[in-house]
């Protein structure tokens, strides 16, 4: 209950090859813990029609429909990754928990999802059912002293309004929240950054709706994927400076050799068989800086933004099949 308003958020996978298609998935899921919807907006792309000798518009007609959707939550479950990477994961085939699932980017169509956003307020109940939700932007943020936060930004192709909450769309689901002291970051993968203060994985997929001769989009496709890793850590060694140079002594001319791989991993409680990992290749510093030089009240730190050529996601779960 917030300010007299009760809200519900859940989602289902839509069929892989049927954008905005009716879900065959009946396993209503929450994206994480403490979910908040930061943006839920419709753009009707209205156009004013004018006639000669009239200062004001004679008519207004609708253009392409597009919905904007942004959701934030504490990291706990991985199944929403279908709608960032574009499809379901590949199972690792383990016979016992933890079971592993891997997501690699699709190169064409993107699997969409259906979201149920309900609100009970002042004796009214309204549920907005969003169809064809695809996420083109993902940020995973980790900071000392905090839970791991996920921010998903995307679009959707259609929606409908209900006057009651869809049965089953308020799942009683528990998840292990992933927190900073379960996080590790390695660049390269064999070298852990020990004194991290905060870091962010930022993936922009360029996913976009495909329009036709109707208001609502026909499909959703993957775009040009761009991944960045931003890091702030207390300075303890010069390995990352050498990566920024391209060698051990001074900035190289031309092509930077020696691109590293990298691993970002979030482990939950051991009893929960829960972990989420981002595996990266082609990790090169785009910008590198020292901060707080000579400041006795602050730690000398290095701030780095890496460009990442390729990224995949891996999850460990107690679930023996992907949800």
E strand map for the chain: 5-13, 33-43, 47-49, 59-61, 66-74, 90-91, 99-103, 113-121, 124-143, 149-156, 158-162, 183-186, 196-204, 208-212, 214-221, 226-234, 260-267, 275-291, 301-317
Nearest CA-CA partner of 259 in 233, 232, 236, 280: 280
C-alpha–C-alpha distance, residues 232 and 108, integer Å: 35
Q: What is the pTM of this model?
A: 0.92
Contact call for residues 127 and 177 (beta carbons, < 8 A):
no
C-alpha–C-alpha distance, residues 194 and 246, integer Å: 22
Token pair 């989009």 is found at 217
Residue 126, classed as helix, strand or coil, is strand
> Which DSSP letter does residue 106 get?
-
Residue 264: predicted pLDDT: 96
Residue 85, classed as helix, strand or coil, is helix
Q: Is beta strand 90-91 parallel, antiparallel or unpaired with respect to 99-103?
A: antiparallel
C-alpha–C-alpha distance, residues 284 and 228, integer Å: 10
281, 223, 115, 128: CA torsion to nearest 10: 150
Residue 145: predicted pLDDT: 92
Q: Cβ of 53: how many Cβ atoms within 10 Å? A: 5
Residue 258: predicted pLDDT: 65
Give backbone dihedrals phi and psi of 237, rounded to 5 degrees, phi first. -155, 180
Residue 174: predicted pLDDT: 65
pLDDT tens, residue order, the chain (323 aa): 344 567 889 999 999 999 999 999 999 999 999 999 999 999 999 999 999 989 999 999 999 999 999 999 999 899 999 999 999 999 999 999 999 999 999 999 999 999 999 988 888 899 999 999 999 999 999 999 999 999 999 999 999 999 998 887 777 666 778 888 889 999 998 888 989 999 999 999 999 999 999 999 999 999 999 999 999 999 988 889 889 888 778 888 777 766 789 999 999 876 667 899 999 999 999 999 999 998 988 899 999 999 999 999 999 998 999 99
């Amino acid at each position: 209950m917030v300010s007299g308003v009760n809200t519900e958020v859940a989602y289902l996978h839509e069929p892989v090859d049927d954008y905005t298609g009716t879900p065959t998935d009946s396993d209503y899921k929450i994206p994480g813990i403490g979910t908040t919807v930061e943006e839920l907006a419709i753009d009707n792309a209205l156009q004013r029609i004018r006639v000669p000798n009239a200062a004001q518009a004679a008519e207004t007609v609708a253009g392409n429909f597009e919905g904007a959707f942004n959701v934030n939550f504490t990291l706990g479950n991985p199944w929403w990754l279908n709608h960032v990477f574009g499809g379901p994961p590949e199972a690792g085939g383990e016979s016992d928990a933890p079971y592993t699932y891997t997501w690699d980017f699709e190169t064409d169509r993107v699997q969409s999802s259906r979201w149920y956003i309900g609100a009970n307020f002042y004796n009214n109940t309204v549920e907005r059912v969003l169809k064809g939700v695809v996420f083109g932007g993902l940020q995973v943020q980790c900071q000392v002293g905090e839970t791991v936060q996920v921010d998903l930004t995307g679009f959707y192709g259609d929606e409908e309004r209900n006057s009651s909450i869809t049965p089953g769309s308020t799942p009683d689901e528990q998840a292990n929240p992933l927190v900073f002291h379960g996080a590790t970051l390695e660049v390269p993968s064999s070298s852990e950054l020990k004194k991290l203060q905060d870091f962010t994985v930022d993936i922009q997929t360029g996913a976009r709706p495909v329009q036709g001769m109707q208001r609502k989009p026909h499909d959703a496709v993957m775009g040009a994927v761009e991944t960045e890793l931003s890091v702030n850590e207390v300075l303890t060694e010069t390995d990352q400076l050498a990566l920024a140079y391209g060698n051990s002594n001074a900035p190289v001319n031309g092509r930077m050799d020696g691109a590293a791989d990298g691993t970002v991993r979030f482990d939950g409680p051991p009893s929960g068989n829960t972990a989420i990992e981002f595996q990266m290749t082609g990790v090169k510093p785009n910008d590198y800086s020292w901060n707080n030089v000579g400041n006795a009240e602050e730690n000398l730190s290095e701030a780095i933004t890496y460009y990442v050529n390729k990224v995949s996601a891996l999850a460990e779960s107690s679930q023996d099949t992907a949800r």
